[in-house]
Structure 1
Amino acid sequence: MTRRRTARALTAFALATLPLGAAAGELNILTWEGYADPSFLKPFEEASGCAVSATYVGSNDDFAAKLAAGGGVYDVITPSLDTVSMMRLAGFVDPVDPATVTGAEGIYPEFAKHPEIVVEGETWAVPLIWGSVSVIYRPDKVTGTPDSIGLLFDPAYKGKISLWDDKSAIYWTARYLGFENIFDLSDAELEAVKAKLIAQKPLIRKYWSSAGELTDLMANNEVWVSNAWTGLTSKDVNALGKGFTVAEFSPKEKAEGWMDSMMLVKGTPNQECAVKFMSYMQSPEGQCGIAKSTGYFPVNPGAVSACMDAAMKAERKVDNIDFVKSLVMWQQPVRLDKYLEVWNAVKAAP
């Protein structure tokens, strides 16, 4: 089957999962870059009658702030696993009936039944996409073949290092310092992490807030080294043809893993469109579309069976749940307020 015929078949299958006679509606999503690309959302809009509007976040910390100030603006949010419980406990979201989400049964059970997702028999989120966090670098600028988080702290690259503007900087630094329980650090360990991050600041060109910003920093030769969401920035930078390439590696101190899920904003008047969207994103069109747009890994392996060849399936870890187990999967820190306090103190330091 040709690629064009395959694409038509996937679209037909995806649209067939949507209820017939859909009434006109709207859907406002608070999400990440690449998660609302027109390439896969336009067919959903046409079939469902739900006009999609997306607002993008740069950090998981943005979800609470925007929901608290939004006044009912959003219908669906897509936080990472370490933020799902916060959204639930803060009362920002309603539970989801998985029986209403077509295709949900195909999601990896390790994600669908995760204790952050299912609490006391209620499902609070529908997994969407997952991946890992790597170190990205310029092989033509960095000496040797790096394999450690230490590259982010190397004074040889002063002024050419970047870091995501997010509390996860604490996780990275804690692993580099050899601390094991990175989501429940003691006061003394947090002080050591803070001191290390403050000492790193003279090396930092900029803390990036979005994948697009990091792409620009690397493409414009402002940054040679950073942490990055595996697959996305390297794909985008290398596609620009700037005369150089970037590479990625999982550090020997272990890589972080994340999984983003769809959550239903409490009291949304657009629940029908929201559930249709959640179903669509479990279809071949949705899972293949978001995986292509971002370079991340699908949560529903059966949905991508026709759009990925064997090599791509291996690259995107399809049916490779052992890879998940090799990662340090994000969790909500036990003392979230303390972690945010530390990260804000680092950014405020001279």
Structure 2
Amino acid sequence: MMTGAALVAVSLLAVTGCSSTSEAAGGEEAAGGLQIDVPDVPMQEELGDYEGEVNIVAWSGFVEPAWSDAFTEETGCVVNRRVAGTSDEMVQLMRSGDYDLVSASGDASLRLIAGGDVAPLNLDLIPNFGDDIVEGMKGQVYDTINGKSYGVPIGRGANILQYNSEVVTEEPTSWDVAWEADSPYAGKVIAYDAPIYIADAAVYLMAHEPELGITNPYALDQTQLDAAIELLQQQNEIVSEYWADPAAQITSFVGGTTVLGTSWEVLRKLTEDEKFKSVLPEEGSTGWSDAWMLAAEAENPNCAYAWMDYTSSPEVNGAIAMNFGMAPANAAFCETSDEAKEHCEYYHATDEEYFDKVWFWTTPIEQCVDGRTDVTCTNFQQWTDAWLSVKS
């Protein structure tokens, strides 16, 4: 999710094969996913006795006593939580060998898979991973490799355009007000602070400079990356500040430093002021989709599988989604109450037409995930190095 300077270069990964893209913005066909060489980590064939505990690295709000205590009572597995603030921190912690599970976002998933840090999942051992899991969160390129699933979906959201309607009096239809040098809101624009934000520039370029040939914002050759960085440097001239901390983003809007820029639906809601509105512009956007991933050498794999199944139930998955502020993965939750239905409508939980316009975070790797084989794409380390030049 929120990611800072990368500590691991995915360029170390040798990649081969090809990928098949779908028409949806999200990327790969669910059946195949991405085809690359990754470490051969075995998949657990059957469940054994519960070990008595499970150690989880998670985003704040994903593992709370309200449901972890009930899980412990049901299984005897005590839940030990470590909250992480960035995707990079999650990758580091999972590589320490001290954790069984992680709630990884797409900008961490491929790094963990490529490093052999997580194991493919036996979905037969997760009964709640069934027909009620929304199709748009199954088999995606960021967590499905060589036909094997490495992630159990938790929730998703779009990186939308938020604005102060008392200043921005007409609803924006394009991201141009946040990117172009002549924006009437120059000096009052806020942007996300992370290398993965390069993909937001690429989404804008896909629509406005089609001659660049970008068809997936996470598959950029060097020329395309250079164009994205040039756009980001242009935006830097009109940006009031960058945000990685959601609280700082809210403060910027409420305090008037910012009137327009990148946000999440939950952040707009947390401002508790009707003048703040949001829109998914015509170009589409980037977004994030989180999934439970199992450590390759988990000390407590049976409790970990039990947790993944437990939190995939409509009630618990919905509780996590409501607590964090995102669309749940289990669509059955939306029918459990009027409050659940309202939540699902606000976050577009089952609106695949909405999410078809969203390109979910995917770790950039040298194999072009758009299917090109005649060029080498830029990797996450190159994106990290390039991002540093944007604000220097």
Aligned mate of 1:233, from 264, 267, 277? 267
The equivalent residue for 2:179 is 153
Report matched runs for 1:1-350 at 5 Å: 24-29=52-57, 31-48=58-75, 49-58=77-86, 60-68=87-95, 71-105=96-130, 106-153=132-179, 155-177=183-205, 178-179=208-209, 180-181=214-215, 182-229=217-264, 231-238=265-272, 245-308=275-338, 310-333=341-364, 334=368, 335-336=378-379, 337-347=381-391, 349=392
The one-character-per-residue Cα deviations of 1:240-285 (angstroms, maximum 9, x if unpaired) are: x6xx631111011112243211101221212233222211211123
CA distance in 1, matches of 2:389, 2:93: 22
CA distance in 1, matches of 2:300, 2:248: 32
- 2:60 partner amino acid: E
SS at match of 2:261: strand
TM-score by length of 1: 0.80
CA distance in 2, matches of 1:194, 1:214: 23
Q: Is the 8 A contact 1:28 1:73 kept in 2?
A: no
Q: Is the 8 A contact 1:72 1:268 kept in 2?
A: yes
Over 3 Å counting, the alpha-carbon distance change for 1:281 and 1:210 in structure 2 is: farther
CA distance in 2, matches of 1:78, 1:84: 9
SS at match of 1:328: strand
Q: Shift in Å at residue 82 of structure 1? A: 4.7
CA distance in 2, matches of 1:157, 1:39: 43
CA distance in 2, matches of 1:332, 1:298: 22
- 2:128 partner amino acid: G
**Unaligned stretches of 5+ in structure 2?**
1-46, 369-377
Q: Is the 8 A contact 1:27 1:52 kept in 2?
A: yes
The one-character-per-residue Cα deviations of 1:295-348 (angstroms, maximum 9, x if unpaired) are: 31111112442135555443333443333323334433242232222112213x
CA distance in 2, matches of 1:122, 1:197: 36
CA distance in 2, matches of 1:319, 1:65: 33
Over 3 Å counting, the alpha-carbon distance change for 1:167 and 1:47 in structure 2 is: same
CA distance in 2, matches of 1:219, 1:42: 36
The equivalent residue for 1:7 is none
CA distance in 2, matches of 1:77, 1:171: 24
Q: Quick check: 111-120 or 132-141, which moved more?
A: 111-120
Q: Shift in Å at residue 45 of structure 1? A: 4.2
CA distance in 2, matches of 1:107, 1:327: 18
SS at match of 1:136: strand
Q: Shift in Å at residue 190 of structure 1? A: 1.9
Q: Is the 8 A contact 1:108 1:299 kept in 2?
A: yes
CA distance in 2, matches of 1:274, 1:222: 44
Over 3 Å counting, the alpha-carbon distance change for 1:110 and 1:162 in structure 2 is: closer
Q: Shift in Å at residue 140 of structure 1? A: 1.5
SS at match of 2:121: coil
SS at match of 1:258: strand
CA distance in 1, matches of 2:98, 2:256: 38
Q: Quick check: 160-169 or 216-225, which moved more?
A: 216-225
State percent identity of aligned pairs. Answer: 21
CA distance in 2, matches of 1:285, 1:42: 15
The one-character-per-residue Cα deviations of 1:131-188 (angstroms, maximum 9, x if unpaired) are: 2110111111224221221222365434432211122321222232335322222323
CA distance in 2, matches of 1:201, 1:303: 41
TM-score by length of 2: 0.72
CA distance in 2, matches of 1:167, 1:245: 30
Over 3 Å counting, the alpha-carbon distance change for 1:35 and 1:224 in structure 2 is: farther
Over 3 Å counting, the alpha-carbon distance change for 1:79 and 1:218 in structure 2 is: same
SS at match of 1:302: helix
Cα RMSD, aligned residues only:
2.7
Over 3 Å counting, the alpha-carbon distance change for 1:293 and 1:190 in structure 2 is: same
